[in-house]
Amino acid sequence: MSKPRNHSLADDLLTPAQAAEFKGVSRTAVYSAIAENRLPCVRILGRLALKKSDLKAWKPVRYAGRSKGFTISPEIRARMSQGAKQMWKKRKAEQVEQSKPKGHSRKRS
């Protein structure tokens, strides 16, 4: 008969790379979650370690990419310089102009 193995904490700890593979996300996603305090971790001898139980409970944020268009939040807009605001205003106007349907602009009489 085989002897039952003692379960240790080391069996439950993963490196960020192992955690990424475990959850099916990139290492960058794991590091971002750690930096944003959405995923708890511990440091052991200067290296990051994550508990499997924390990983199982963590729901990664799936970013769909940048939204279409040039939208800026009011908080960011307040911190922008005047020149940057004018640049974004110009780009928005160009985007609106390009999105207009191009058809016959002949007037009917």
Domain 10-57 has CATH 1.10.20.10: no
- pLDDT in the model for residue 106: 57
Token readout for 79 is 């911190």
- pLDDT in the model for residue 31: 92
Residues of the chain below pLDDT 70: 1-10, 62-72, 100-109
Residues contacting 42, CB < 8 A, separation 6+ = 13, 48, 49, 50, 51
Burial (0-12, 13-18, 19+ Cβ within 10 Å), 22:
middle
Each domain of the chain, given as residue ranges in start order, spans 10-57, 69-99
- pLDDT in the model for residue 40: 93
Global pTM reads 0.51
